[in-house]
């Protein structure tokens, strides 16, 4: 089976921050998990480089949009690599191959009768690159996202007949109740649709940084239309000489946050229908990472530097924290204090210490060789059905839920070791077989949770599995007892060493 997962493509008008990392890491967990299942996976992320937000930022920085895009796309690429995202391609909408696909598709929209010429008038937010309806405004003239005052603008444009898709979209939502998850986002998108759809302008006359409208080169294609089709265009040129479209389109899961719900859950399916293309199988809408109760965002200035966190604590710790602290799909607050607590109590104590204690006991009591024994029945019962649960949860994009299920077993293992007190068994030669079983059980449990944690903590899991001498990462290996004893274990060191947090820098 093929599995295609995407993140939004991020605007290059600012630096990457934790909010962007969040979606990328979540998509990476899905991609890695599906590879463990033996699926053929394509994972796409990239940058959105056209449009007013970028043109304005370039103007402010005194550089051309292309210079700004080149510089910042590089930063987004680096941050994806730094968080160990295993993306198969990094798309930039300034790629000439992407331009070619966008031109072709908007021409098709016109040929299919979905485009007409008209005049637009309304409140316009240059940061969103979007006109706002009166009911969306705050205090009569403010952008609900950026809280800046907006001007009324008027422009001659090419329009997309979104209004004619009201019925097909309502039908889509009725027929595919899980097309948009979680359910409350499905309802939100549906009520937006039921509230009546207005045509939107497919082109912009005021800027030149973008894909020219093929039949009217004085205008560029509206940045959102240009950007959305990245999900299709990438497949046509990600592998030189090969077109992956038939293999991977329609996308399996598209991840976005709720800020861009309307574009993905309303505009996107309508555009695809209009272009005679298949719709993605699922959109998953996650919530916001909040700091001090506000959405973290460049324009609000409350960002946490992911590089700093990773330099101090490692990449896995950041990945873990993001997906553990905030239930994927809901909003949630993050903080340096919250991070330290999770790092110390869960990663260092519950997982790191479990690993070092267990390995130390195998070294001390069994000369470093995992004993042969059957897994203890009580542990087998606790692990029963775990792989299936994790699979089901990740099929439904419950990224934090799956992690919770795995972590419950990390705690089970700690309790198991605590309850059986192998240090006491080791003193009684008559209980050698019991000790063998407890050690085998703890090691097997550790191995299983590490295979399952691999998508979340790739560096740590690989390191631990290498020390256990069991490097099979496939999901089939994630069953207690799938592997017996006999392996000689290696040196582990500290998985999550204590870190002295630096003094906060003066404001």
Distance CA 317, CA 339 (A): 9
The distance in angstroms from the start CA to the end CA of the chain is 52
Joined together, the tokens standing for residue 116 give: 């007409």
Active site residue 143: yes
Active site residue 232: no
Distance CA 330, CA 326 (A): 7
Nearer to ligand MSP, 193 or 256 (CB): 256
Q: Is 169 helix (H, G, I), strand (E, B) or coil?
A: helix
CB of 217 to ligand MSP, least distance (A): 23
Nearer to ligand MSP, 3 or 10 (CB): 10
Residues contributing to the site for ligand MSP (CB under 6 A): 8-11, 19-20, 22-23, 48, 227-228, 230, 256-257, 259-260, 288-289, 295-297
Active site residue 498: no
Q: CA-based angle 464:469:472, to the nearest 5?
A: 80
Between the alpha carbon of residue 198 and those of residues 262, 357, 412, the distances in Å are: 12, 63, 54
Active site residue 128: yes
CB of 397 to ligand MSP, least distance (A): 13
Nearer to ligand MSP, 8 or 455 (CB): 8
CB of 476 to ligand MSP, least distance (A): 32
Active site residue 142: no
> Which candidate in 56, 104, 142, 146 is catalytic?
146
CB of 438 to ligand MSP, least distance (A): 43
CB of 365 to ligand MSP, least distance (A): 47
- The two beta strands, 212-213 and 130-132, are unpaired
CB 119 within 8 A of CB 156: yes
Active site residue 20: yes
| Contacts for 100 with CB less than 8 Å, ≥ 6 apart | none
Query: Using CB atoms, what's the residue nearest to ligand MSP?
Result: 19
Nearer to ligand MSP, 49 or 382 (CB): 49
Distance CA 44, CA 5 (A): 6
Q: Is 334 helix (H, G, I), strand (E, B) or coil?
A: coil
- The two beta strands, 40-48 and 2-11, are parallel
Active site residue 295: yes
- The two beta strands, 283-286 and 253-257, are parallel
> Which candidate in 98, 99, 286, 295 is catalytic?
295
Between the alpha carbon of residue 448 and those of residues 33, 52, 70, 494, the distances in Å are: 14, 49, 43, 19
CB 446 within 8 A of CB 355: yes
Nearer to ligand MSP, 47 or 203 (CB): 47
Percent helix, strand and coil across the chain, each rounded to 5? 50, 15, 30
CB of 27 to ligand MSP, least distance (A): 9
For residue 396, the 8-state DSSP code is T
CB 320 within 8 A of CB 459: no
User: DSSP assignment of 356-378, as one string?
Assistant: HHHHHHHHHHHTTBPPP-PPPHH
Joined together, the tokens standing for residue 140 give: 């009569």
Q: Which of 485, 459, 483, 480 is nearest to 472 (CA)?
A: 483
> Which candidate in 110, 125, 132, 264 is catalytic?
125
CB of 288 to ligand MSP, least distance (A): 4
CB of 489 to ligand MSP, least distance (A): 40
Joined together, the tokens standing for residue 319 give: 């990945």
So which residues are the catalytic ones? 17, 20, 125, 128, 143, 146, 295, 298
């Amino acid at each position: 089976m093929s599995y295609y997962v995407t993140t939004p493509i991020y605007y290059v008008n600012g630096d990457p921050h934790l909010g962007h990392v969040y979606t990328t890491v979540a998509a990476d967990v899905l991609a890695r998990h599906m590879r463990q299942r033996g699926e053929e996976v394509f994972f796409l992320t990239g940058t959105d480089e056209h449009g007013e937000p970028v043109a304005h930022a370039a103007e402010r920085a005194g550089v051309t949009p292309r210079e700004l895009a080149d510089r910042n796309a590089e930063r987004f690429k680096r941050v994806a690599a730094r968080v160990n995202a295993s993306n198969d391609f990094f798309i930039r909408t300034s790629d000439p191959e992407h331009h070619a696909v966008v031109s072709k598709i908007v021409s098709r929209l016109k040929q299919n009768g979905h485009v007409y010429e008209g005049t637009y008038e309304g409140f316009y937010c240059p940061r969103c690159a979007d006109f706002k309806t009166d009911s969306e405004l705050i205090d009569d003239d403010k952008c609900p996202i950026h809280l800046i005052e907006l001007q009324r603008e008027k422009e001659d444009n090419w329009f997309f007949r979104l209004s004619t898709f009201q019925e097909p979209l309502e039908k889509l939502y009725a027929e595919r109740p899980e097309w948009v998850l979680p359910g409350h986002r499905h309802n939100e998108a549906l009520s937006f649709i039921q509230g009546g759809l207005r045509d939107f302008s497919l082109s912009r006359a005021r800027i030149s940084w973008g894909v020219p409208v093929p039949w009217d080169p004085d205008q560029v294609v509206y940045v959102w239309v240009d950007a959305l089709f990245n999900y299709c265009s990438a497949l046509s040129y990600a592998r030189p000489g090969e077109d992956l479209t038939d293999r991977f389109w329609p996308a399996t899961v598209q991840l976005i946050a709720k800020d861009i719900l309307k574009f993905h859950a309303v505009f996107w399916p309508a555009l695809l229908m209009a272009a005679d293309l298949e719709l993605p199988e699922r959109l998953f809408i996650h919530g916001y990472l909040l700091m001090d109760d506000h959405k973290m965002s460049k324009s609000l200035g409350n960002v946490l530097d992911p590089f700093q966190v990773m330099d101090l604590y490692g990449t896995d710790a950041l990945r873990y924290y993001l997906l553990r602290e905030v239930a994927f799909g809901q909003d949630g607050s993050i903080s340096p204090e919250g991070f330290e607590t999770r790092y110390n109590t869960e990663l260092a104590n519950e997982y790191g210490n479990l690993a070092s204690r267990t390995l130390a006991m195998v070294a001390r009591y069994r000369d470093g060789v995992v004993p042969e024994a059957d897994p203890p029945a009580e542990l087998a019962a606790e692990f029963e059905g775990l792989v299936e649960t994790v699979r089901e949860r990740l099929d439904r994009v419950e990224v934090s839920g799956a992690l919770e299920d795995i972590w419950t077993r990390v705690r089970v293992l700690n309790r198991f070791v605590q309850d059986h007190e192998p240090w006491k068994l080791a003193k009684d030669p008559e209980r050698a077989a019991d000790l063998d079983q407890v050690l085998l059980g703890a090691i097997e449990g550790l191995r299983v949770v590490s295979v399952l944690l691999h998508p979340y903590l790739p560096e740590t899991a690989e390191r631990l599995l290498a020390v256990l001498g069991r490097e099979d990462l496939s999901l089939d290996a994630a069953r207690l007892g799938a592997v017996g004893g006999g392996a000689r274990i290696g040196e582990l060191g500290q998985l999550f060493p204590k870190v002295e947090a630096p003094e906060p820098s003066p404001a």
